[in-house]
Amino acid sequence: MSILKISQEEFDYLGIERVGFFPERAWFKSTALDIAGTVIRDPIDNDWSYVLVAKEEDGIYRYLSGEVSISTQQEAESKLYASAHHIEKNGTFQENLYRKSEIEKENDLTLIVTSVDDEVKKYLKKNPQKLYELSPRKFEELVASILKDLGFEVELTQATRDGGRDIIAHVRNAVSSYLTYIECKRYAADNKVGVGIVREVIGVHHIHKPTKSIIVTTSFFSKEAIKEAELMESQLDLRDFNDIKTWLQRY
């Protein structure tokens, strides 16, 4: 196998543009093909991911393959080696913005996105139905990234935390600070967000007292949920699939 572990300096020398949230822990390069890779630690969920990129005809390295939610660094490196070896064995590669795991191919449900960048958002703008294939955590990261682009300071909460605030977002200026809690629900199109979720978010809102709370879903809201939210219309916003499509139009 010609996949070698290299230093961060050697990886940086390749001129690969970094786009994503989390720090890299190890770096790799093929001596047979123009492919390179990195292993990434998620400080929020405390799991690991790997990413492989390939140099294309224009000289730019672009996403080739990857996997998320891996238990250990050693396992992530092993999976990176196996994926790179498979590509080398075939002697070529094709650009793939997304790659499904074997389990996900069987279920045909979850889209793997290793990092949320403008390429991903442009893809989702053209293919909004793919929102339903994002994992729930990646949907949260997508919403956080959009909010960041809109001028918010964003913080993703622990995946194991209680409900009501997947994202904490601030807008700060010299006059005031505007705090927003965002609860994200990556639901199927026909699975409407019910009144129970709205009441849960309202409860968290009353306890922590942010300026505004928002529920964002890839689905829509039931009539009961909309009616309940209207009782707090100045403090609670509901954003559905159509709103997300509107947000993505800026990319």
> Does residue 106 surpass a pLDDT of 70?
no
pTM of this structure: 0.57
**Amino acid 103: pLDDT:** 37
Taking residues 108-127, report their average pLDDT. 70
Q: Is beta strand 35-41 parallel, antiparallel or unpaired with respect to 153-156? A: unpaired
* Letter string b/e over residues 154-176, b meaning 16 or more CB atoms within 10 A of that residue's CB: bebbeeeeeebbbbbbbeeeeee
Mean pLDDT, residues 63-68: 79
Instruction: Tell me how far CA of residue 31 lies from CA of 85, 86, 92, in angstroms.
Output: 11, 14, 13
The pLDDT assigned to 68 comes to: 79
Q: Which domains does the chain have, with CATH numbers?
A: 3-107 (no CATH), 126-248 (3.40.1350.10)
Distance CA 68, CA 25 (A): 14
Tokens representing 207 are 């306890």
